[in-house]
Amino acid sequence: MPRALSQRLFAFAGVLVVAAILGFLVLPAVVVALAAFNGRAILSFPPETWSLRWFVKALAYEDFQAGFRNGLIVTGWASSIALLVGAGFAFALDRYRFPLRGAIEAVLLSPLVVPHFTVGLGFLIIAAQVGLARSFTTVVACHVVLVLPFVLRSVYVSLRNLDRRFELAAASLGASPGKVLLTVTLPLLAPGLVSGWLFAAILSFNEFTASLFVTAQRTQTLPVAMYNYVREYADPSMAALSVMYIVATATLLTFANAYLGLGKVLNVEHAR
Amino acid sequence: MPAERMAPAAANVVPLLGRQDIAVRLDGIVKRFGDVTALQEVQLPIRRGELMTLLGPSGCGKTTLLNLVAGFLSPDRGDIAIDGEVVTTVPPHRREIGMVFQSYALFPHMDVAANVGYGLRMRGLARAEIAARVAEALALVKLTGLGDRRPRQLSGGQQQRVALARALVIRPKVLLLDEPFSALDKSLRGSMQVEVKEIQKQLGVTTIFVTHDQSEALSLSDRIAVMSDGRIRQCGTPDEIYRRPADRFVASFVGDANVLHARLERFEGASAIVALGAARVAVPADALSGLAAGAPVDLFVRPEQLRIAEPGQAVATQGIVATHVYQGGHVDLYADVAEMAHGRLLIRLPGHDAIARWPVGARIAVTLGDAETVAFPRGADAAPLASGNGPAQT
């Protein structure tokens, strides 16, 4: 039966709207990616000539290299410390009942009510007081605070979904509590732990607002270095950096998803 | 002999039984969850090598009792002894128990062989011995060759076999089975039950089996402890439980029972004579002690003990056939009878011609013959349960 014209028009309009929204979502990435291949020294769209020179320049630029190294140091420490602390809190919240448990849970799991610049400013003031101003310690501590809720949530969700009977079965088979943790609990939580660490790492590596307050020339992370660059120059190296960043993150997440099944951790599909 | 060296707390609990005959002793167990008392003064000795079933409706405390034996919970009062040793405060991993969970709880990140060998690795056995014993255990449950499969690649029945092998391979002092058949479909359940029973007898492992399914309990157990409201109502062989239920709860929960309004006529030694219509039937006197002659009693009669009266036989009750349920080997005939305490009278008749001989609407007279029955004072205790009261339940 042929559909009425109005129905077909309506369906067509629907397709248009969806396409427009999707286009709008990827538009910034597309614009930046194309601008990165511009042959000329201006950030324009669409590019008039094509070149890879801005990739070469971005990779060779010393502040970016230092920022990348600093970023890796800060990210590695911050997300690892956040994983340990967050996993500890997640275990405590899941397994034990204690005073103020509800309040602690709410604080640790709440979406970030404190803005990043407040956290950064706070750490700047504290660090100056204790004589750690503009050291890596301060940057790492600041990032731990910022990414902790994400790690905690990831581990906590995995723990809630973990069937306690696996642990009881292990205990009945002669495994001491420590052995149960090592041979059953942690392996079953591994996807949650790794994905928690991964998201913390991505957040930390990207973090700009708070980092601007707590980093110095010696400790500046990549986003801060990019900000400092863009204040003085407006060539497409920034865009080239963005493209490399997107490709690297996408590759990392694709591998992580293939090996760990992040869908399960993110509750996209149910574990059983 | 190590079993002779007794921990003092268990020393004089049962002086008559040889101690080595008792594998697990539950002594005055009390367990509360908040305001709810899950177990009240439970006393249960379990003999070596027997299959003891804890049977009861959900919430009766049977699973709590199993978790106490496993060590997953600790009692508020009382003691648990395994092989004569008080283990009340011993953590689960030092109790030498094997447990099969309702959901099997197979480790999803290990293959079948690693699952089965887990307990042996925890005991620090040599690699070669572990491999040999895992192979032996897999052969026992007929899963030879499936050692490298992952649990999720197995069917429900196979998963259960792995769970059983994993629990048995450590040669546990006690095997605990927590409703292990409830997740299987009906056809598989029967064959798995037979198999588990055979393996249990072959190994002679003391087993505690928890179920709410009374037919499963009757068919598998050496002895049954019927539980309700945190108490053991009766402990005995399936036959004792079925033919000589100790109280109304046991009589209604285990098997189908017709509850008929009858009258106590007199006591005769250890028996009481109960009158129902023109029929007289002897029941154990102890359940009726203290009642005067003529007192109203409830007579519990199994459906297979009732027969349609032949001319000349004493008629216990009369009624109108309401409906039939054809069961293949027998016919369940439901009749409306005035003396029933509730629901319809259920008569289980052998053969296939019962439907033709006594069609719906036919008037029938029923006789008790020399049926083995029990009676309890009218209306005391336990509400009627949903067994044998109408075709809706079958």
Of the listed ranges A35-39, A42-46, B259-263, B336-340, the one predicted with least confidence: A42-46
Q: Looking at the predicted structure, is the pLDDT value of residue B3 above 70?
A: no
Partner A contacted by B352 (CB < 8 A):
no
Q: Which amino acid is at B366?
A: V
Q: Looking at the predicted structure, is the pLDDT value of residue A48 above 80?
A: no
Q: Looking at the predicted structure, is the pLDDT value of residue B394 above 60?
A: no
Angle, helices A136-161/A101-109, rounded to nearest 10 degrees: 110
Q: Which among A163, A168, A179 has the least Cβ separation from residue B122?
A: A179
Give the per-residue pLDDT at B382.
Answer: 43
The whole-number average pLDDT for the span A174-190 is 93
pLDDT digits (tens, 9 = 90+) for B331-340: 999 999 988 8
Q: Which amino acid is at A109?
A: L
Q: Which among B99, B105, B118 has the least Cβ separation from residue A163?
A: B105
Query: Rounded to a whole number, what is the distance in Å from the CA of B376 to chain A's nearest CA?
Result: 42
The whole-number average pLDDT for the span A180-187 is 93
Q: Looking at the predicted structure, is the pLDDT value of residue B347 above 50?
A: yes
Cβ contact, residue pair B101, A168, below 8 Å: yes
For residue B54, the cross-strand partners are: B210, B225
Shared domain for B233 and B323, answered yes or no, is: no
3-state secondary structure (DSSP) of residue B215: helix
The whole-number average pLDDT for the span B64-89 is 93
Write down which residue in B192, B209, B243 finishes a domain: B243
For residue A49, the cross-strand partners are: none
Q: Looking at the predicted structure, is the pLDDT value of residue B4 above 90?
A: no
* C-alpha separations of A210 from A33, A129, A138, A144, B219 in Å: 27, 18, 11, 12, 70
Of the listed ranges A185-194, B280-289, B378-387, the one predicted with least confidence: B378-387
The whole-number average pLDDT for the span B153-164 is 92
Is the alpha carbon torsion for B374, B380, B381, B385 positive or negative? positive
Give the per-residue pLDDT at A2.
Answer: 62
Higher pLDDT, A53 or A177: A177
The whole-number average pLDDT for the span B276-286 is 90
Query: Rounded to a whole number, what is the distance in Å from the CA of A189 to chain B's nearest CA?
Result: 11
B369: nearest Cα among B321, B304, B289: B304
Is the alpha carbon torsion for B309, B312, B318, B319 positive or negative? positive
Give the per-residue pLDDT at B1.
Answer: 38
- Which strands, in side-by-side order, build the sheet including B85-86? B36-47, B22-33, B77-82, B85-86
Query: Rounded to a whole number, what is the distance in Å from the CA of B277 to chain A's nearest CA?
Result: 56
Average confidence score pLDDT of chain B = 87
| CA end-to-end span of chain A | 42
Of the listed ranges B41-55, B166-180, B352-366, B369-383, the one predicted with least confidence: B369-383
Q: Which residues contact B361 (CB under 8 A, 6 or more apart)?
A: B320, B321
Spatial distance between the Cα atoms of B172 and B165, rounded to a whole number of angstroms:
11
B345: nearest Cα among B377, B312, B300: B300
* A32 domain-assigned: no
Partner A contacted by B117 (CB < 8 A):
no
Cβ contact, residue pair A163, B94, below 8 Å: no
Shared domain for B239 and B335, answered yes or no, is: no
- The domain of B19 spans 2-96+172-243
CB-based burial, B277-297: b 16+ in 10 Å, e otherwise:
bebebbbbbebbeebeeeeeb
In the structure, what pLDDT confidence band is assigned to residue B352 with cuts at 50, 70 and 90?
Answer: confident
Tally of domains in chain B: 2
Shared domain for B72 and B216, answered yes or no, is: yes
Give the per-residue pLDDT at A68.
Answer: 92
Residues in A closer than 8 angstroms to B71, CB to CB, are 171-172
Among A165, A168, A173, A180, most B C-beta atoms within 10 A, so best to mutate, is A173
Pairing outcome for strands B51-55 and B223-228 = parallel
Higher pLDDT, B341 or B120: B120
Shared domain for B182 and B48, answered yes or no, is: yes
**Residue B22: exposure state from Cβ atoms within 10 A (0-12, 13-18, ≥19):** buried
Cβ contact, residue pair B99, A174, below 8 Å: no
Helix (H) or strand (E) holding B156: helix B156-168
In the structure, what pLDDT confidence band is assigned to residue A112 with cuts at 50, 70 and 90?
Answer: low
Which two structure tokens, joined as six digits, stand for B240?
């004792």
CATH of residue A180's domain is: 1.10.3720.10
The whole-number average pLDDT for the span A192-201 is 89
Query: Rounded to a whole number, what is the distance in Å from the CA of A181 to chain B's nearest CA?
Result: 13
* B141 domain-assigned: no
Q: Looking at the predicted structure, is the pLDDT value of residue A182 above 90?
A: yes
* A136 domain-assigned: yes
Spatial distance between the Cα atoms of A170 and B167, rounded to a whole number of angstroms:
10
Q: Looking at the predicted structure, is the pLDDT value of residue B341 above 50?
A: yes
Q: Which among B70, B108, B123 has the least Cβ separation from residue A172?
A: B70
In the structure, what pLDDT confidence band is assigned to residue A174 with cuts at 50, 70 and 90?
Answer: very high
Write down which residue in B212, B243, B274 finishes a domain: B243
Q: Looking at the predicted structure, is the pLDDT value of residue B162 above 80?
A: yes
* B386 domain-assigned: no
Residues in A closer than 8 angstroms to B97, CB to CB, are 172
Q: Which residue of A has its CA nearest to B174?
A: A172
In the structure, what pLDDT confidence band is assigned to residue A265 with cuts at 50, 70 and 90?
Answer: very low
In the structure, what pLDDT confidence band is assigned to residue B386 with cuts at 50, 70 and 90?
Answer: very low
Average confidence score pLDDT of chain A = 85
Give the per-residue pLDDT at A166.
Answer: 95
* B313 domain-assigned: yes
Give the per-residue pLDDT at B5.
Answer: 41
Query: Rounded to a whole number, what is the distance in Å from the CA of A270 to chain B's nearest CA?
Result: 15
Shared domain for B293 and B221, answered yes or no, is: no
* Most confident region among A222-226, B115-119, B214-218 by mean pLDDT: B115-119
Give the per-residue pLDDT at B13.
Answer: 43
* B106 domain-assigned: no
- The domain of A195 spans 61-265
Partner A contacted by B103 (CB < 8 A):
yes
Give the per-residue pLDDT at A110.
Answer: 65
3-state secondary structure (DSSP) of residue B259: strand
Residues in A closer than 8 angstroms to B98, CB to CB, are 172-173
Give the per-residue pLDDT at A263.
Answer: 53
Q: Do residues B260 and B317 make contact, with C-beta atoms less than 8 angstroms apart? A: yes
Query: What is the percent of chain B where pLDDT is above 70?
Result: 91
A207: nearest Cα among A67, A111, A85, A109: A67
Q: Which residue of A has its CA nearest to B106?
A: A166
* B132 domain-assigned: no
Cβ contact, residue pair A168, B166, below 8 Å: no
CATH of residue B227's domain is: 3.40.50.300
Shared domain for B270 and B229, answered yes or no, is: no
The whole model's pTM is what?
Answer: 0.79
Of the listed ranges A126-140, A157-171, B14-28, B201-215, the one predicted with least confidence: B14-28
Of the listed ranges A178-187, A192-201, B18-27, the one predicted with least confidence: B18-27
Spatial distance between the Cα atoms of A25 and A32, rounded to a whole number of angstroms:
13
Percent helix, strand and coil across chain B, each to the nearest 5: 30, 35, 40
3-state secondary structure chain A: CCCCHHHHHHHHHHHHHHHHHHHHHHHHHHHHHHHCCECCCCCCCCCCCECCHHHHHHHHCHHHHHHHHHHHHHHHHHHHHHHHHHHHHHHHHHHCCCCCHHHHHHHHHCCCCCCHHHHHHHHHHHHHHHCCCCCHHHHHHHHHHHHHHHHHHHHHHHHHHCCHHHHHHHHHCCCCHHHHHHHHHHHHHHHHHHHHHHHHHHHHHHCCHHHHHHCCCCCCCHHHHHHHHHHHCCCCHHHHHHHHHHHHHHHHHHHHHHHHCHHHHCCCCCCC
* A227 domain-assigned: yes
The whole-number average pLDDT for the span B275-279 is 89
Shared domain for B211 and B323, answered yes or no, is: no
Higher pLDDT, A6 or A134: A6
Tally of domains in chain A: 1
* A261 domain-assigned: yes
Cβ contact, residue pair A173, B96, below 8 Å: no
